[in-house]
Amino acid sequence: MIVPRIMAVDHTTATESAVRTVHAGEPLDVPEGPLARWFRDRVRAYGDLPATRHRDEDGAFVETTFSEFYAEAAAVAGGFLETMEPGDRLGVRAETRYEWSLVDLASILAGLVLVPVYPSFSASQARYVLEDAAVRTLVTERDPPLEVAGAVEWVVDVEDLPHVEDVDPDDLPGFDVSDDDLATIIYTSGTTGFPKGCELTHRNFLAQLAAVASFIESKPGDTATCFLPLSHVYQRISNYADWNQGVSTVFMAVPSLLEDLGETQPNGFVTVPRVYRRMYDGVRKQVAEAEGARGRIARWALDVAREYGRAVDGGGTPSARLRARHRLADRLVYGQLRERLGLSDVSFAITGAASIDPELLHFLWGIGVPVLEGYGATETTAGGTLNRPGEMRAGTVGKPVPGIEVALADDGEVLLRGPQVMRGYWNRPEATAEAIDDEGWYHTGDVGEFDGEYLRIVDRKKRLQVLDTGKNVYPGPIETALRRSPYVAEAMVVGEGRKYVTALVQPNFDLLVSFAEEHGLPYDADELERDHDGTVVAVPTDLLDHEEVRDLVQAEVDAANEDLAEYERVKRIAVIERALSVDEEELTPTLKKRRGTISEHFDDRIEALYV
């Protein structure tokens, strides 16, 4: 593995001469705004089609048409304007649900600036965001702590939103704002310190909507998923992109995701690698347990899927023999599998927010799920790069989307420029100057490399670890190699200033429990802890103490080491007995690792690896 050398670069004085390689997306014609006009045009085009679907109190999916959604949002906008002025900040602290998007559209129509607050933020973090953005009204789905409520003038229950009847949407102030006015301030969850507020304008969103529409074509009346956090730009821009083409957003709950997918069979599926990994692990487990002819056919089909996925990687053409085997496997296995996963009607699927294992992509492509991996940031309205249908290349995040230029600075840092790039950080001029240089390049903090026209992300620049031997090690690729094992759910590599690389390993607890039961290994089942969806998130230490379990995990690490350079190989591991969590502040709301916190919580385990 080749690791780019890191050199110090002054971001505020970076010039074109300091940029090593530049690739640009297609030219982009950004439509005129503001967003209120954009959505009104959608209503005129798709008024009687469903804009959203969500479960009612009886658990049945109900539809809201574009016209109904628009009218209800206008009534709520009128309610907000009784106590607020255009340009005021409106906070929303709630899980992903229909009312979240209703508040979002109402904010657009009222000319307000929406400020999402992650429900998982601590009271101090939430108060910081509310005070920093000078939020006047907070919409919340549960009574906030006094520390949070005291930061705003009004607190509104998400299930009891203010309404003003007979509001003419066209008369609302949202139509009078400029394209360059703020639409939202999104605070990055951050792996260290307090979050920074990204200022995204109406034009930022309109540019990204135009970019998405240029290469992902959906049909009016199609459906697409919505279950990721709306506090993050990824799901929010996905919803906008759905509505842009007359697609209905289906609100789903994570605990019942497979049930919701199976019932609705959406056409668009936007998620993160962790969800695809759970699907893949579940399929592999069922295939491994299948007996007789059924088991043999399933295992054969799984092998064919991976082989086919590798063959089409990079736009390749499978052999005639492989195509014939694949057609047979599709009739016997893949069709039923897609239907069971709720993906039988998917025409496009996107993965982002973290890297995805190429083997997992090959499997998904092989069973007929066209997953496209992309790359972006809150600071770029989720714009950056994306693999294209029929031109997917595993291990990369694709080519620049329309309107975006992608560059590599001399130190390998990925730079992005285009109309999707934020205006700046709220109240943080120094941070803005550090992030966006004089020529408009946003410095992502990620190290990357080009594979032809395709971008490959190596790791975060600040994660570079230098062993005491002087060798540079990026933990990201090593952790990805470890996670390729079905028995490894998460890993954190340690090595800064040390003689060798070690890792904390969070195993796939469900598979470990199955392994223990299959091999008759005793453990205290009463100490198992499960998540809301039944996933095991903690196991008793006596299960991990079995030599067979330790050998199993070590064998998986040894297999991962074979693909790494000698100095990158994980020499020792500590297997932890519980899942890293947002509640313990070990993960951000977008599930990125907070390495400092994890190191503190498992300090004794880490130090023992170097004794």
Please name the amino acid found at residue 417: R
Residues 469-527: tens digit of each pLDDT: 888 888 988 998 899 898 999 999 999 889 999 999 999 999 999 999 999 999 988 88
Q: Check whether residue 531 and residue 448 sit in a common domain.
A: no
pLDDT on residue 531: 85
State whether 85 and 184 are in the same domain. Answer: yes
Q: Which of 158, 186, 206 delimits the end of a domain?
A: 206
* 403 burial level (CB within 10 Å; 0-12, 13-18, 19+): buried
For residues 495 and 594, membership in a common domain is answered with: yes
Cα angle 152-228-154, degrees, rounded to a multiple of 5: 10
- The phi, psi pair for 331, rounded to 5°, reads -70, -40
565 and 492 in a common domain: yes
My answer on whether 436 and 373 are in the same domain is yes
Q: Does any domain span residue 516?
A: yes
User: Nearest 5°: phi and psi at 177?
Assistant: -80, 160
For residue 259, tell me if it sits in a domain.
Answer: no
Render 537-577 in DSSP notation, one character per residue.
EE--HHHHTSHHHHHHHHHHHHHHHTTS-GGGSEEEEEE-S
Q: Which of 434, 461, 488 is the last residue of a domain?
A: 461
Question: What is the predicted pLDDT for the residue at 4?
Answer: 32
- Cβ atoms of residues 435 and 11 within 8 Å: yes
Domain boundary among 206, 238, 257: 206
Domains: count for the chain: 3
Which tens digit of pLDDT belongs to each residue from 38-60? 999 999 999 999 999 999 988 89
Tell me, what's the pLDDT at 190? Answer: 60
168 lies in the same domain as 115: yes
Question: What range defines the domain where residue 118 resides?
Answer: 35-206
CATH code where residue 308 lies: 2.30.38.10
Q: Give the pair of three-digit tokens for residue 62.
A: 């109900």
How many of the other CB atoms lie within 10 Å of CB of 350?
22
Stretches in the chain below the pLDDT threshold 70: 1-20, 189-193
Instruction: Please state the pTM of the whole predicted model.
Output: 0.85
Q: What is the pLDDT of residue 17?
A: 42
Same domain, 362 and 495: no
DSSP codes of every residue in 249-261: EEE--GGGHHHHH
User: Residue 27 is which amino acid?
Assistant: P
CA distance 373 to 366: 15
3-state secondary structure of 603: helix
pLDDT value for 192: 56
Confidence at residue 535, expressed as pLDDT on a 0 to 100 scale: 86
Residue 403 is assigned to a structural domain of this protein: yes
Name the phi and psi angles at 224, rounded to 5.
Answer: -145, 155
Check whether residue 169 and residue 145 sit in a common domain. Answer: yes
Which CATH number belongs to the domain containing residue 549 in this structure? 3.30.300.30
Q: Is the domain of 331 the same as that of 410?
A: yes
218: in domain: no
